[in-house]
Structures are given as structure tokens and as C-alpha cells.
């Protein structure tokens, strides 16, 4: 039992050290401030300009959260592009793989650091609901569910971005690849609207779409099926990321 506790404590310490390293690198990167500014501007313009929020006459933030999947198409690749691609370019990835860290610790360290950056972005967006709450009676539980869904969406897209970064040779390729894939799996649910397809194909397309699974959260509804989708895809992409590191370590 003591040995198990020691191993568990060692893993937590290594994970914590890796997270602090990644968070520090984000904090001193000018790209982080650019990403934060873009996210805040995009979501605000989306709400007030494209959704004509003040003409709706309804106390809801659903139009605000509708823009989150679209913003993530560029925001998440910008956050994750350097995670492995830059390590690979500079040769530090090989150095990390020789250190006494498990592949899971390396992947989770980068994952939770990137997720921490997104949480900071979410905290910055709180100025919008806080300022609008004076104009109507909003349901706090609904807003909380909407943010929870956005966090789940972020975790899935971050895991995918990290995987594609691990498969890319440089940051530009990682950014473009991640943005293209996120654009495809976010907007794929639009296909059934423009084409007449068999029911089974429509169902398959809708199941793949990230935006489709986020729809219930936009409404403030916690659907366990959509939550399970985000959890499973997050774990799947992280698992594949680990496998990529293992193959690279022994190649």
C-alpha cells in the first residue's frame, strides 16, 4: 500500500511540474494575449452584432454560446499548435521522453495546462453575463450548464489539437491541420440541411459533429449522451496521443 501511495504521489508531482511548466510558457507567450483578445472580441461581436441580441427581447445567453464552437475552430489550434510540434522541432520532445515521466503524465500535463488557459478565457467572458444580468432575469443554473458544456467541448477539441500537434512537424502545420479538422467536424452537421441523404447517414453525420452535441448545452440542458460523447472523445484523443509518443520513443 505504501509503494502504491508513493507511486501515485510521484505521478501527481510530475504532472503538477509539467502543468506549471506549460502554464508558464503560455503566460509569457504573446500568442496567449492575442488568442484571448480574439476570443473575447469574436464572441462579443457574434452576440451583439450577428445575433442582434438587444432586439431579441429575451433573457437568454444561448446566442452567446452558439458562437463558442466557431471561435474554437481558431482558438484551440492556436493554443495547442506549439504543444508537441515545437517540442519536436527544437528536439526537446526527445529529451522529455528520456526523463522519468510516463507518457500519460506528459500528455495530461499539456492537456490540463491548455484546459487551464481556456478556463482563464471563460473567466474573462463572465463580464458579458454579469453586465447583461441587470437587463433581465437570467437562470443561473442554465448559464452554469452552458459553461460546463463549453468546458467539455473545449476538452475534446484540446485533446484533438494535441494529437494533431504530435503528428505535425511544425506549428504552422499543426495549426492549419487542427483548424481544418475542427472546421470539418464542427460544420459537418450542415450537410444534411443542404443534401438529401439516407436517414442512417444523416444520423452518422450528426453524431460526428461537435456543434450538434453542443446544442443541448447551448439551451442549458445537461444531456448525458452529449456529455458522454465529449468525455469519450477526449479520452480517445489523449489515448492516441500517448500511443504516438510511445511509437516515437521506440522508433
Domain ranges across the chain: 2-250
Tens of pLDDT, residue by residue over 85-132, are: 776 666 665 656 666 667 888 899 899 999 999 999 999 999 988 888
242 or 193, higher pLDDT: 242
Report the alpha-carbon distance of residue 228 to residue 248 in Å, rounded: 30
pTM confidence score: 0.90
Mean pLDDT of 5-13: 64
Asked if residues 207 and 201 have their Cβ atoms less than 8 Å apart, the reply is no
- Binning pLDDT at 50, 70 and 90, where does residue 219 land? very high
Res 122: pLDDT: 96
- Locate all alpha helices (DSSP H) within the chain, ordered by sequence: 2-27, 30-45, 62-66, 68-90, 92-98, 103-125, 127-132, 140-167, 171-187, 191-194, 199-208, 210-218, 224-250
Report the alpha-carbon distance of residue 179 to residue 111 in Å, rounded: 18
Res 90: pLDDT: 64
- Binning pLDDT at 50, 70 and 90, where does residue 246 land? confident
Phi-psi label, residue 220: left if phi above 0, alpha if psi -120 to 50, beta otherwise: left
Tens of pLDDT, residue by residue over 67-95, are: 999 999 999 999 999 887 776 666 665 65
Question: Around Cβ 127, how many Cβ atoms within 10 Å?
Answer: 11
224 or 22, higher pLDDT: 224
Amino acid at each position: 500500500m505504501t509503494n502504491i501511495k508513493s507511486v501515485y504521489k510521484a505521478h501527481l508531482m510530475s504532472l503538477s511540474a509539467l502543468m506549471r511548466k506549460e502554464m508558464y510558457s503560455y503566460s509569457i507567450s504573446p500568442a496567449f494575449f492575442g488568442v484571448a483578445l480574439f476570443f473575447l472580441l469574436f464572441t462579443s461581436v457574434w452576440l451583439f452584432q450577428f445575433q442582434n441580441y438587444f432586439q431579441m427581447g429575451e433573457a437568454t445567453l444561448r446566442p452567446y454560446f452558439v458562437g463558442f464552437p466557431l471561435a474554437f475552430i481558431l482558438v484551440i489550434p492556436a493554443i495547442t499548435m506549439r504543444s508537441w510540434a515545437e517540442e519536436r522541432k527544437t528536439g526537446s520532445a526527445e529529451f522529455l521522453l528520456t526523463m522519468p515521466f510516463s507518457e500519460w503524465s506528459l500528455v495530461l500535463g499539456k492537456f490540463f495546462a491548455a484546459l487551464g488557459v481556456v478556463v482563464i478565457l471563460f473567466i474573462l467572458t463572465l463580464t458579458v453575463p454579469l453586465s447583461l444580468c441587470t437587463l433581465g432575469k437570467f437562470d443561473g443554473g442554465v448559464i452554469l450548464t452552458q459553461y460546463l458544456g463549453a468546458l467539455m467541448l473545449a476538452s475534446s477539441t484540446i485533446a484533438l489539437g494535441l494529437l494533431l500537434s504530435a503528428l505535425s512537424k511544425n506549428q504552422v502545420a499543426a495549426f492549419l491541420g487542427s483548424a481544418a479538422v475542427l472546421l470539418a467536424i464542427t460544420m459537418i452537421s450542415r450537410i444534411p440541411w443542404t443534401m438529401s441523404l439516407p436517414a442512417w447517414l444523416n444520423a452518422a453525420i450528426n453524431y460526428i459533429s461537435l456543434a450538434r452535441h453542443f446544442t443541448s448545452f447551448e439551451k442549458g440542458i445537461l444531456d448525458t449522451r452529449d456529455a458522454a460523447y465529449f468525455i469519450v472523445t477526449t479520452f480517445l484523443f489523449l489515448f492516441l496521443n500517448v500511443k504516438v509518443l510511445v511509437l516515437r520513443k521506440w522508433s
